[in-house]
Homo-oligomer: A and B are copies of this chain.
Amino acid sequence: MLHFLANISCSGMERLLKKCQIRNQLIRECMAECLGVYVLILFGCGSVAQVVTTEDKKGQYLSINLGFALGVTFGVFVSRGVSGAHLNPAVSLSLCVLGRHSWVKLPFYIFFQVLGAFLAAATVALQYYDAIQAYSGGDLTVTGPTATAGIFSTYPADYLSVWGGIVDQVIGTAALLLCVLALGDHRNSSIPHYLQPVLVGAAVLVIGISMGSNSGYALNPARDFGPRLFTYIAGWGADVFKAGSSWWWVPIVAPCVGALLGTLIYELMVEVHHPSEQSQSQASCPEDRSDKVGVELEGVEADREKPT
């Protein structure tokens, strides 16, 4: 009976879609990472575009914080069942260093994360084309009173030195990883998987609220470089790489350092000291590791690694 109903609901459309099924695990993961970062940047940069082009009339700094926070939440919801929702090369790198993600996959993940951010920046530029033209008078600039490059990637505040910027990005990304690892550590606070995207979004929100003013809390090489590349191509020109004393490399390098630092702090202050209990006692390297890895981590890796 149920089978019968199911067949009915199986429309022509559904059957058509089914023909497009891809079974290669890596391609699926790359598409999911790409779509996840796409959603993150679409909402994040979109909220900046709204605030900038309406001159704070239809939004404020807090709405930008909310835009990126909920962008992360929905980016994770869109991709985590498939790729584990890293959405950030610095996170992928940390996981590789910890031995929780495959080094071989790393370049693929990074490429598709940057690609997703690039495509999202293009979409935001398309959606806000009229608004950007009206606001900037058609002149796409990186600095000055009607600068619009800041919609897409981050630029440092005037007062910020390069070292200050590096410190800012290292601390910010370390704080992010600290929160994300705590949320995923099932021997500290075992949080249901469906709440983790929301709480990771909350972590991004509070970082934006408390660490956003120095240089725009990129915390993520893909989030910054993809849209920067888009602005370089789309008419803002080479200034996007020159502005802020060639700021562009800081949100690429510093988040990687910060991610590793944050990982180290959480591991050394909390996680490695958890007593190995009953079920964990036979192996010094716990087998239920995969349960623990949480949101940004490769949660379902073990299953995926198995031949299908």
Tell me the A residues contacting B by CB distance below 8 Å.
2-3, 5-7, 9-15, 17-18, 20-23, 28, 31-32, 34-35, 39, 42-47, 49-50, 53-54, 57-63, 65-67, 70-71, 73-74, 76-82, 97-100, 123, 126-131, 133-134, 157-161, 164, 167-168, 171-172, 175, 178-179, 182-183, 185, 187-195, 197-199, 202-203, 205-207, 209-214, 265-275, 283-287, 289-290, 301-302, 305, 308
With CB as the reference atom, state the residue of chain B lying closest to A1: B306
Among B23, B70, B131, B287, point to the contact of A6 (Cβ < 8 A).
Answer: B287
Integer count of this chain's copies in the complex: 4
Chain B: CB-nearest residue to A304: B275
Assess A14 versus B285: contact at CB under 8 Å? Given A43-B210, A157-B131, A187-B81. yes
Q: Which residue of B lies closest to A96 (CB)?
A: B11
Are B126 and A77 in contact, CB atoms less than 8 angstroms apart? no
A178–B98 contact, CB under 8 A? Answer: no
12 example contacts (A-B, Cβ-Cβ < 8 A) are as follows A6-B287, A6-B289, A7-B283, A17-B271, A20-B272, A57-B61, A77-B189, A77-B199, A78-B270, A81-B274, A131-B157, A189-B193
Closest 10 CB pairs of A and B: A11-B99, A46-B210, A81-B188, A134-B159, A10-B285, A70-B206, A6-B287, A47-B210, A130-B164, A58-B213
Q: Contacts A14-B98, A47-B210, A131-B213 given; 12 further ones with Cβ under 8 A?
A: A6-B290, A13-B98, A18-B272, A20-B268, A43-B206, A47-B206, A60-B60, A66-B206, A71-B210, A130-B214, A131-B160, A198-B199
A197 touches B189 (CB 8 A): yes
Contact of A127 among B203, B206, B214 (CB under 8 A): B214
- Smallest distance from the beta carbon of A274 to chain B beta carbons, Å? 8
Least Cβ–Cβ distance between A132 and chain B, in angstroms: 10
A60–B159 CA distance with the chains assembled, in angstroms:
21
Contact of A286 among B6, B53, B161, B210 (CB under 8 A): B6
With CB as the reference atom, state the residue of chain B lying closest to A210: B46
Instruction: Please judge, given known A-B contacts A61-B59, A214-B130, whether A209 and B67 are in contact too, CB under 8 Å.
Output: yes
Q: Cβ of A207: which chain B residues have Cβ within 8 Å of it?
A: 43
CA gap between A294 and B99 in the complex, in Å = 34
Query: How many whole Å from A205's CB to the nearest CB in chain B?
Result: 7
Query: Provided the pairs A7-B285, A189-B193 are in contact, do residues A209 and B270 lie with their beta carbons within 8 angstroms?
Result: no
A171 x B99 contact (CB < 8 A): no
Query: A74 to chain B: closest CB distance in Å?
Result: 5
- Residues in B with CB closer than 8 Å to A74 are 178-179, 182, 202-203, 206
Which of B32, B205, B270 interacts with A269 by CB under 8 Å?
Answer: B32
When distances are taken between beta carbons in the complex, the residues of chain B under 8 Å from A18 are 272, 284-285
Tell me whether B305 and A5 are in contact (CB under 8 A).
Answer: yes
Q: A128's closest neighbor in chain B, by CB?
A: B214
- Whether the Cβ atoms of A126 and B187 lie closer than 8 Å is no
